Amino acid sequence: MASAATTGTLGGNHTNLAHLLGQTLDSRLTSSGKPIVFLVGEVSSERHSLESLIRREVWQLETFQSARELLARPRPLVPNCLILALAVPDFNDLDAQKQIARERAETRVIFAANYADTPTIVQAMKAGAVDFFVKPFMDDFLVRAIREGLERSLAALRREVDIRDIRKRYALLTPRERQVMALVVSGLLNKQVGGELGISELTVKAHRGQVMQKMKANSLADLVRMALKLRPTPHTILMA
């Protein structure tokens, strides 16, 4: 079960961010929109030591027995990171890290282990871990990594808000306006777009004007930027 939460600080209004995402947050733990540090630990004594450290930094804290238990928790749309406090990380732990990256890409992962070999550390870092600590390590280094993880998480959530907003605008376009937009951002001139679609240049200009207005694009470069964000990527955390 999750532990009780305390206070926390990080720039930005995360309650408004969650509202923009159109999601219902767990009112008991995230109504204030404060960052959360998740802690998954195998050894109770070590877990308690990390709990004390995190609470001193006044972040919200939730503890779990396993990554699977964490994934069963409703997704919190506030900056968050996960500390995997393990005796000796194995392939199952690395698989859990990859699953978290797939399902909750805004959740940044930090490893804190009693022992780990070089291949395991390399795999974890390649999979996107913020850092990998092997005992003994200084508390200050871990705190610094948590702060970095929360900042990365905030940036990911802000990107999601931006993408969702762009998708909502794109949904307002007619099929013809979408065709025009696709050809315009590919670099074709109005006359060439008209040739491709079998319509006049004047009609293309009218559709293009509607596209710019509905997408709230200030320039062609702005429209191209939006079009690029609409393309799905492996790192997209948007829930379509």
pLDDT tens figures, 2-54: 433 333 345 444 445 544 444 433 333 344 578 999 999 866 667 788 988 89
Kindly provide the residue ranges of all beta strands, DSSP E only, lying in the chain, ordered along the sequence.
36-41, 60-64, 80-86, 107-113, 131-134
In terms of Cα–Cα distance, which of 142, 152, 144, 200 is closest to 176? Answer: 200
Residue ranges of domains in the chain: 14-159, 172-230
Per-residue pLDDT tens digits for 152-179: 999 999 998 899 999 999 999 999 999 9
Mean pLDDT of 222-229: 95
How is domain 14-159 classified at the architecture level of CATH?
Answer: 3-Layer(aba) Sandwich (3.40)
Per DSSP, the three-state class of 36 is strand
- Please tell me if the domain spanning 14-159 has the same topology as the one spanning 172-230: no
Q: What is the rounded average pLDDT for all residues in the chain?
A: 84
C-alpha–C-alpha distance, residues 174 and 199, integer Å: 15
Q: What is the pTM of this model?
A: 0.70
Q: Any idea which fold 172-230 has?
A: Arc Repressor Mutant, subunit A (1.10.10)
